[in-house]
Amino acid sequence: MSSWKSLRKMEMDPLWLMRIFTIIPVVLILVAGAGALWMYFFVSSLLPESQTRVDLPGLAADVRVVRDRHGVPGIIGEKEEDLAMVLGYVMAQDRLWQMDFLRRAAQGRLAEIFGSAHIEADHLMRTVGAGADADVYPGRLGEPDRKWLEEFVKGINRYISSHSGKLPVEFSFLEYRPDPFSPKDIMAIFSAMAWESSLASRVDPVMTSLLCRLGNKRARLLFPTDPAVSSGYAPSGLKGWVPGGTLFSRPADPPNRLRIPGLRGGAAWAVGGLRSRSGRPLACWNIYQTLTAPRFWYRARLVAGDFHLSGAFIPGTPVAFVGSNERISWGSVSSPVDDADLFLESVDSDAPRRYWRVDRWHKVRVRKEKYRVRGASSVARTILLTETGPLVSNAANGKALSLKWTGADGSGLYRSLYALNRSRNGGEVRKSLAKLVAPCLSVVWADDKDNYGVQPAGRIPIRCPGDDGIAPMPAWTAVHDWQGFIPFDELPAVTNPAEGAVIVTGGRPGGMGYPFFVGCYWNDDSAHGRIKELLEDESEHQKESFRRMQLDTVSLSARRLTPIILKAIETGARWGETEQESISLLNSWDFEMGRKSIGAAIFGLIYQSLVDELFRREMGDDLYDRFTAYSPLTSRMVTKIFVDRRHEWLGSVKPHEILRKCFQRAMDRGKVLMGDDPKEWDWGAIHKTVFRHPLTEKSRFLELLYQVGPVPTPGSIDTIDFAGWSNAHPFSVSEGVSLRQIADMTAPPRVFGVSPMGSSAHFFSTHYKDQMSDWLNGRSFRDPIQRADIRKHGFNAVLFKARRPGKLSGR
């Protein structure tokens, strides 16, 4: 008993309690600190080491790599093929795991390292043939471009083999090692990029699901239209069907969007020498894309003899998407054309692997795929193919849906970019892009001979009269088959226009007067109109005025819609103090969607509430999330209803009643998010970007290591400084400007650019996110092209020494 009493006394002693509760946190801090130090030194040991020399078998001559203060490599040599090999080596040095991730995503092999959550997306990539370019290598390549590709692959593999014990830490986290790369891996990345950049592949399944849920008459009110086609025909019997299958269950948000960040349009413009201060053409590009970590673009500069190439590369590929070669500068903006269609197939209910075509049954071709799955047994899937394309839905009541996509037999993207990188004038730009199949691009270019222009490229299907590319057409009659493609010479190219400027945005390709039907999924003219306003504001432009234009956040949609909102809410209603103050602030707003803008916060809250009220209840949550994931669908509908006063969708509900209701909801939400005083609100407080890494889905710990953000973000869906978000996650910006570039075609050209994040994919590297501040604040850095300029900007150099094949050293 006495011992029990003494134990109780000790346990209750305040001094002991104080000691215990002091020691425990100290121990935890020491353990955490030791773990952090171990992690730091472990990961640091895997970073690309500081080298002064690398022996690289296969080089014909020595090559020097000079990195600038941001870690961007300048590769200087004597032979072009040597540049390709060293580019592969240094790209692997900076981005090897990202390159491996992209090839796996392209080939449908992410389940091997991430597990069963990726099986459906893997199966989709194999179903649509997103790696089709791999199947045509090397048949469609000439000797120079084939050689360039193969030397690039050799460089990647030299790095892998010489650093088997010092691979990026992601391989350790996921417990696997990378296989050697092949040219087919690189070609697969190009095809997957083309697929993920296809608008129709994302939007057509949503519109088809709307037809099935709402019926033709009601769904047609939501369908965007085009002046080159009458209201499209839709087959009967779809209402009530719920199409299933991988294409119809694609999530609108991460982790799906982290696989291959597809192009989401952009804004590009150029002026001639008469409208620039330098007297030479001046061109500018904002590339829109899913925002991820690490950043998507890989910058590099290459020089050998009279060959110069400086620009932004897709990681894992050896050609620049945006860049300059001293003679010409270019940038490629994805074009909102419809390059894919769904077709309704008649399948045999008794023998579902037969489909009807014109006058008889045909056998479905069967391809079996096997998926290795991390932590689980392998999974076998079957892909069914018709002469139109793969079946991408379930079969029900004798019908199923097939997909026809222009890039199914190869994208032509590598061949086109290889030739574009070596073009010297507009004629050669045109010739290089004639090879492109998918994605459809608008390339804005300017050369050193005072010429500039726009060259569209890519295959655009010619459809039967009345087919708008939205609703699935019956395949069994063959009447609705594509009738070929718009001839390349008929695409709306422009060179040295009389008005002295060219502009490319997400609007209708060729403008509203272009006679060919290219699709319905284009944006309104807001960004185009704003660029035109800003170009006309100054008689002569220079880098600084173009930089200001790149960062412009004036919303013309808000300029049109705000007076209509104010008219509705200022009359016939009694508002509280918060609401009255918001109305006053909205009246004085300048339509800037800046980070610190109060008016932008008020308008953004109203717009989100309005979209939610118009569409969510009738569509249901899942379909609503997928519909609003592509913002032009909602923005064109809002404009149609409230600006153009076409109220069919509203039925008997009055527009002003909806606007008042949504205004009140917006104010209630604003108070929850930012407090009761609207004068303390700002757009950046709710409108933010998070740069997510694919590994963040694995654990909270990895999220803390790799994720960057949330970052207050300016802009909106229709501003030049674009910021896109889905109503599934309001104000969480998932798409934005992934690359800004300006080129002044002086002699030599002066090129400036910036991307978010940094050059390295290693999270403990000083270059993992060292360009974030520049990107957020609109600063850019010089992108040198000439040999002397690259050396001048260099902070360190590595000599890649030519030697005969043998033991690799220099580590």
29 Cβ contact partners less than 8 Å away, ≥ 6 residues apart = none
pLDDT confidence of residue 550: 97
Which one is predicted more confidently, 29 or 461? Answer: 461
Give the mean pLDDT of 485-491.
97
Q: How confident is the model at residue 251 (pLDDT cuts 50, 70, 90)?
A: low
pLDDT at 40 over 70: no
Q: Closest by alpha carbon to 795, among 771, 767, 761, 764?
A: 767
Sorting pLDDT into bands at 50, 70 and 90, what band is 258? Answer: low
Q: Does the pLDDT at position 232 exceed 80?
A: no
**How high is the pLDDT of residue 804?**
59
**Which DSSP string corresponds to 502-545?**
EEE-SS-TT-TT--S---S----SHHHHHHHHHHHH-SSB-HHH
Within a 10 A sphere around the Cβ of 22, how many other Cβ atoms?
10
Q: How confident is the model at residue 18 (pLDDT cuts 50, 70, 90)?
A: low
Helix (H, G, I), strand (E, B) or coil at 213: helix
Using alpha carbons, select from 768, 748, 776 the residue that is nearest to residue 301.
748
Is the preceding omega at residue 281 within 30 degrees of 0, hence cis?
no
CA distance 488 to 433: 9
Report the pLDDT averaged over residues 788-805.
Answer: 85
How much of the chain, in percent, has pLDDT values that exceed 70? 91
Looking at every residue in the chain, the average pLDDT score rounds to 89
CA atoms within 13 A on the CB side of 124: 21
Alpha helices in 215-322 (DSSP H): 216-220
Higher pLDDT, 696 or 272: 272
Distance CA 80, CA 356 (A): 53
- Give the model's pLDDT for residue 664: 96
| Distance from C-alpha of 399 to C-alpha of 241, rounded to nearest angstrom | 10
Q: Cβ contacts of residue 709 below 8 Å, gap of 6+?
A: 688, 689, 690, 691
Q: What is the pTM of this model?
A: 0.91
725 pLDDT tier (thresholds 50, 70, 90) = confident
Q: So what's the pLDDT on residue 250?
A: 63
Query: Mind listing the pLDDT tens digit for each residue in 166-198?
Result: 899 999 999 999 999 999 999 999 999 999 999
What's the one-letter identity of residue 342? L
Strand 473-474's sheet: what is its strand order? 399-405, 340-346, 473-474
**Least-confidence region, from 20-29, 440-449, 623-632:** 20-29
pLDDT at residue 31 above 80?
A: no
Q: How many CA atoms lie within 13 A of 375 on its CB side?
A: 11
- Residue 258: DSSP 8-state: G
Measure the CA–CA gap between 488 and 460, rounded to whole angstroms. 9
Q: pLDDT at position 613, please?
A: 96
Please list, residue by residue across 213-250, b when 16 or more beta carbons sit within 10 angstroms of its beta carbon and e when fewer do: bbebeebbebbbebebbeebbbeeebeebebebbbbeb
At 81-133, the pLDDT tens digits run 999 999 999 999 999 999 999 999 999 999 999 999 899 999 999 999 877 78
Q: What average pLDDT does range 535-563 have in this prediction?
A: 96
pLDDT digits (tens, 9 = 90+) for 759-773: 999 988 999 999 999
- Give φ, ψ of 415 to 5 degrees: -60, -45
Q: What is the rounded average pLDDT of the residues 293-307? A: 95
19 has a pLDDT exceeding 50? no
Contacts of 727 (CB under 8 A, 6+ apart): 608, 611, 612, 616, 624, 625, 628, 634
Q: Residue 35's pLDDT is what?
A: 45
Six-digit token string for 792: 């001048």
Give the C-alpha separation, 691 to 756, whole Å: 9
The stretch 393-422 carries a mean pLDDT of 94
Tens digit of pLDDT for each residue in 309-339?
999 999 999 999 999 999 999 999 999 999 9
The answer to whether 272 and 283 have CB atoms below 8 angstroms apart is no
Residue 793 has pLDDT above 80, yes or no: yes
Range in 314-323, 353-362, 637-646, 698-707 with the lowest mean pLDDT: 698-707
Strands (E), 599-734: 688-691, 708-712, 723-724, 732-733
Least confident segment among 5-14, 236-245, 460-469, 691-700: 5-14
Neighbours of 384 (CB within 10 A): 20
pLDDT at residue 807 in the model:
47
C-beta separation of 525 from 533 below 8 A: no
- pLDDT the model gives residue 257: 52
Q: What is the pLDDT of residue 572?
A: 67
Greatest mean pLDDT among 325-334, 464-473, 726-735 lies in 325-334
Residue 578 contacts residue 787 (beta carbons within 8 Å): no
811 or 69, which is more confident: 69
Determine the Cα–Cα distance for residues 395 and 593; give it in Å rounded to an integer: 46
* CA dist., res. 200 & res. 70, Å (int): 37
Model pLDDT for residues 138-170, shown as the tens digit of each residue: 888 999 999 999 999 999 999 999 998 889 999
The whole-number pLDDT of residue 811 equals 34
In this predicted structure, what is the pLDDT of residue 135? 75
Picking from 132, 128, 262, 108, the residue whose alpha carbon sits closest to that of residue 187 is 132
| Cα distance from N-terminal residue to C-terminal residue, the chain | 71
What's residue 139's pLDDT? 82
User: Average pLDDT, stretch 700-706?
Assistant: 86
Whole-number Å distance between alpha carbons of 110 and 116: 9
Each as own residue / partner, the long-range contacts of residues 513-518 (CB below 8 Å, 24 or more positions apart, any chain) are 514/228, 515/228, 516/228, 516/460, 516/462, 516/486, 516/490, 517/226, 517/228, 517/229, 517/462, 517/463, 517/468, 517/469, 518/226, 518/228, 518/337, 518/338, 518/460, 518/486
Question: Residue 688: its pLDDT value, please?
Answer: 95
> 683 phi and psi, to 5 degrees?
-60, -40
When pLDDT is averaged across residues 519-543 and rounded to a whole number, the result is 94
The predicted structure's pLDDT at residue 808: 42
